[in-house]
Amino acid sequence: MLSFKPITIQNQAVISDYVRCSDIRSSSYCFVDLLIWQRQFNTQFCIADDLLFIKMRSYIGDRSVYLMPVGSGNFANGILRILEDAGMHGQIPVITALSAEGLEKIEHLFPNRFSFCEMRGSEDYIYRSEDLIDLCGRKFHEKKNHINHFRKTYAGRWHYGNMSESDMGAVLSFHEQWMNSYSLDKNRYLLGERQALICAFHYFDRLKLRGSLLYLDHRLIGFAIGIQGLNDTFIVQFEKADRKIVGAYQMINQLFAQHHCRQVQWINREEDLGIKGLRRAKLTYHPVWLNVEYQATCKREY
């Protein structure tokens, strides 16, 4: 039986070590994401047989799903432990955020036992850092036009700032305005995002988060927060801007990359959640690849 417990800041070192040794690139395994969304998804972990197990509540419905176990332990035994744990709680085993390699491994070890589907809304968007820093070439012409328009229109009126824990109040106030500007109902995801943002600020320094702030006439109009994951990749957890101000989103995106991502090769801007507008926006920055993820569901006949 797997003994799961909630993820806390005290678990950062052990969880990060298992993920780092396994060379996992999915943001689903990023400790910051696991921690700040813990309350929303009831994320729990367990170390057993030299493997890290992660269990959480599914975004859709209240069933539990598992991440693929990682570590030096026996992978096949790890999958069997997941099957056992799900069965003990009367649930069909579901393993999520699988890479193509993980899918092939499970199918090889347990042929025809699982059905698989691609998780299109959960794929991480991966960009070259130099692309987002410099915006060179015709494919970024529109982005540069928006930025040039902003700089020209608001010359002498805007300024940039690096974020610290003391900026929590201003950022949360802007986040509230951002939600209201979209006339979005405060559904479970948005309330969870707000809790995640509060948690990120609570542990801002301990998690070694980095953030950027964009001001116009001394009023906050955009922010971004992220962390360096693997040595060659920076992960962006939050990015918001005032959509009524032309160029605000493009400005905060480039400023964050310029101030925090020069030392890495890749920038992971995470998933689009299946939201059409967000998908279009992420695609217009021309990702080098999408980190395709799959979900494995144990067939009922087993």
Query: pLDDT by residue (tens digit) across 100-109?
Result: 999 999 999 9
- Provide the token pair at 112: 């025809």
Q: Say how far apart CA 173 and CA 92 lie, in whole Å.
A: 41
The phi and psi torsions of 275 (rounded to 5 degrees) equal -85, 120
- Provide the token pair at 27: 């943001």
CATH superfamily of 5-123+293-298: Gcn5-related N-acetyltransferase (GNAT) (3.40.630.30)
98 contact partners, CB below 8 Å, separation of at least 6: 68, 106, 116, 293, 294, 295, 296
Contact 97, 68 (CB under 8 A): yes
pLDDT in the model for residue 58: 85
Say if residue 286 is exposed, middle or buried (CB neighbours under 10 Å; 0-12, 13-18, 19+).
Answer: middle
Q: Which residues of 176-205 are buried (b: 16+ CB within 10 A; e: fewer)?
A: eebbeeeeeeeeeeeebbbebbebbbebbe
pLDDT in the model for residue 183: 57
**Residue ranges of the chain assigned to CATH 3.40.630.30:** 5-123+293-298, 124-270
Q: Which residues pair with 215 in a beta bridge?
A: 159, 220
pLDDT in the model for residue 191: 78
**In this structure, what is the dihedral angle of CA atoms 18, 24, 27, 33, given to the nearest 10 degrees?**
0
pLDDT in the model for residue 268: 97
Contact 215, 241 (CB under 8 A): no
111 contact partners, CB below 8 Å, separation of at least 6: none
pLDDT in the model for residue 185: 55
CATH number of 124-270: 3.40.630.30
**Helix, coil or strand: residue 223:** strand
- Provide the token pair at 119: 């998780």
The phi and psi torsions of 300 (rounded to 5 degrees) equal -60, -30
**Helix, coil or strand: residue 234:** strand
CB atoms within 10 A of CB 215: 16
The model's pTM is: 0.93
Q: What is the pLDDT along the chain (302 residues), one digit of tens a residue?
A: 899 999 999 999 999 999 988 878 899 999 999 999 999 999 999 999 999 999 999 876 678 999 999 999 999 999 999 999 999 999 999 999 999 999 999 999 999 999 999 998 889 999 999 999 999 999 999 999 999 999 999 999 999 999 999 999 999 999 999 988 765 555 667 778 999 999 999 999 999 999 999 999 999 999 999 999 878 999 999 999 999 999 999 999 999 999 999 999 999 999 998 888 899 999 999 999 999 999 999 997 55
